Structure 1
């Protein structure tokens, strides 16, 4: 029979909990977030022991507790913008995430076998679901909003931007590493008369793209990028490098190098992080993109060392905020059609994913880069015409 808890122990436990809650509230107040406040970015706390859970498991607990309904914020994007703009997570040192940190740093989580997991987990959710959220070409990457007013315009402007940076000419053969639903390939074939080969690890994407673009000179392969050996006039990779992992960055660049003709150009479009030594967000890793990892600018440079000349580097990360907010608006409008199938927990998970990422890009905590690389350097210099 367990011994009863003494009044002294109860009082000590209460005092500890009170201190933790006070510290939790003081951290949030530093970034103008109130617990149970009335503003749309304030945190509505519904579980009394949530602060202890967050201090133990950091972002993982923050995301999971939101999925479980233990807290809320009307405008999650603004909540995360305030936290990340002022680097509030740096002040929280989770006590139980050390295993996640070690795994991401010591092991290759993106081996050939493991690489297929993200396709099955995320991209194979269902084409019907993604069609309601994305633009008409199913472009699941950052749009270019410089002169755009709508998501459709922003995505077409991004595709045009890539084509111009690659200086495409009719008859060129182009490789798309991580081709998704074929948005770039279809646009490039229709507007520039090129032939494209695309590889993806998603069965759903492959089947959809083959049917949608059967009238174009496009080849879609369900294949890992490491298996490619042919040569191409141009290579493009849009939103795939985030799934490569630090242990494979050099291998990835070597594949691109062997597949690119000597006078070719390679455009790499990827989300990136500001700190080389940071680790993947544990919630995103568990629920959204298994085994994913954002590269730092120096890691990409290291991987390209002695293989490529960096011709151009363009950062338009703030545009991802607008893209994610547009996706979120589409998702909310379409949700009633999927509510019974996917359920409330999925709804909160997906909302958290889209809006937390929008807040992160708005805070400039993460970036969106387009790199243009050549094998030998463009004679006379590379000139971006856009």
Structure 2
């Protein structure tokens, strides 16, 4: 047995994973180069070797859950991993000139994919499953939860930073009679949002959040803060402060992590969310310090595990209709969805809804669940 094979096999055994074992969670190796790629490139080599068919796993989400719980990624730290960290320290990887990357690479890859994978409103953020049994119900429950948390009333004007395909704007305008301005850096999201909700009192713009400068009764941002980047967290909060009325509320819906980081893992950065970095609680509170008080902090990260599995089930069910995507893309997307589910199941990642208010604004706030 080669040294690389022995090392990787021993590492996986720490997580209870047997190479070429018989259980669904066990990893099946098809090409021996897998071992060298993992040791040379860490998570990037692990993910790329899966995309290339070097290995398989029936229960990929369970495999990732066990790997994360065993902290195996901390035991494989090739030198290549240090360059992205250094680059993030010396430059702003989410500055305006680079902000469009994630729109072009991820959100613009094809509305046909997202229409088949997501709920009927195309809500690409964590659903709320407390009293729901289907993805459609759970996503509407989440949208309604947001509306109730900020106390929407007819005639109010709301800013939606990172509006996606317009699910929140459409829901809030339909059910609560409010006016919504949504901003996105995805041309495909913008096109479809306007098609779907153009008949309502909503306005969708292709606009960087840093350019918004007008006053709103409330501000929401659902699943966009992960793209802001640590160097821009305080800038983001200053923009919200500039746009929020004195008595308004700001609801931030974001993936959160246990540790403060300035870069995401190399595979996710390269293939899924370029420049994306999920924040820690410390990074969020530091960014908001001096601008906002925290009225409520709600963690329902377990619901993201279930949401991701629902998206994956839809993706699998409609795979035959997605003829514009090759086998390597399919494996990439499967790796993305199921490893993300493992991230929440292992409690490495969380889903936070945080309600902020200005210090001089409202004092009382009743938490909504």
8 A contact 1:46–1:70 mirrored in 2: yes
CA distance in 2, matches of 1:214, 1:280: 36
Aligned counterpart, 1:119: 103
1:173-214 Cα distance to aligned partner (Å, 9 max, x none):
000000001101111111111100000001111111111112
Q: TM-score, normalised by structure 2?
A: 0.98
Aligned counterpart, 2:126: 142
Larger Rg computed on CA atoms: 1
Aligned counterpart, 1:201: 185
CA distance in 2, matches of 1:205, 1:31: 40
- The alpha-carbon deviation at position 380 of structure 1 amounts to 4.4
8 A contact 2:247–2:362 mirrored in 1: no
Shift in CA distance, 34/196, structure 1 to aligned 2, threshold 3 Å: same
Aligned counterpart, 2:307: 323
CA distance in 1, matches of 2:367, 2:281: 20
- The alpha-carbon deviation at position 86 of structure 1 amounts to 2.1
Aligned counterpart, 2:343: 360
1:113-132 Cα distance to aligned partner (Å, 9 max, x none):
11011111111111121100
Unaligned runs of 5+ in 1: 1-16
Q: Identify the range of structure 1 (44-53 vs 151-160) with the bigger mean alpha-carbon deviation.
A: 44-53
* Matched ranges for 1:343-354 at <5 A: 343-354=326-337
- The alpha-carbon deviation at position 215 of structure 1 amounts to 1.5
Query: Are residue 67 (structure 1) and residue 66 (structure 2) matched?
Result: no
8 A contact 2:33–2:54 mirrored in 1: no
- The alpha-carbon deviation at position 97 of structure 1 amounts to 1.6
- The alpha-carbon deviation at position 385 of structure 1 amounts to 3.3
CA distance in 2, matches of 1:290, 1:267: 24
- The alpha-carbon deviation at position 279 of structure 1 amounts to 3.2
Count of residues in Structure 1 that have an aligned counterpart in Structure 2? 369
Query: Are residue 371 (structure 1) and residue 325 (structure 2) matched?
Result: no
- The alpha-carbon deviation at position 277 of structure 1 amounts to 3.8
Query: Are residue 81 (structure 1) and residue 65 (structure 2) matched?
Result: yes
- The alpha-carbon deviation at position 302 of structure 1 amounts to 0.6
Shift in CA distance, 20/294, structure 1 to aligned 2, threshold 3 Å: same
8 A contact 1:54–1:94 mirrored in 2: no
Shift in CA distance, 277/223, structure 1 to aligned 2, threshold 3 Å: closer
CA distance in 1, matches of 2:30, 2:121: 41
1:53-91 Cα distance to aligned partner (Å, 9 max, x none):
211210000010000000110111011011112222122
8 A contact 1:263–1:374 mirrored in 2: yes
Shift in CA distance, 210/34, structure 1 to aligned 2, threshold 3 Å: same
CA distance in 2, matches of 1:89, 1:263: 45
2:295 aligns with one of 311, 314, 333: 311
1:251 aligns with one of 201, 219, 235: 235
SS of residue in 2 equivalent to 1:96: helix
CA distance in 2, matches of 1:52, 1:120: 32
SS of residue in 2 equivalent to 1:263: coil
SS of residue in 2 equivalent to 1:313: strand
Query: Are residue 227 (structure 1) and residue 211 (structure 2) matched?
Result: yes
8 A contact 1:311–1:377 mirrored in 2: no
Q: TM-score, normalised by structure 1?
A: 0.93
RMSD between superposed Cα atoms in Å: 1.2
- The alpha-carbon deviation at position 106 of structure 1 amounts to 2.5
CA distance in 2, matches of 1:69, 1:322: 26
Unaligned runs of 5+ in 2: none
SS of residue in 2 equivalent to 1:210: helix
CA distance in 2, matches of 1:119, 1:270: 17
1:234-287 Cα distance to aligned partner (Å, 9 max, x none):
000000001000110010000000000000000000011111146311101000
Aligned counterpart, 1:46: 30
1:212 aligns with one of 171, 196, 200: 196
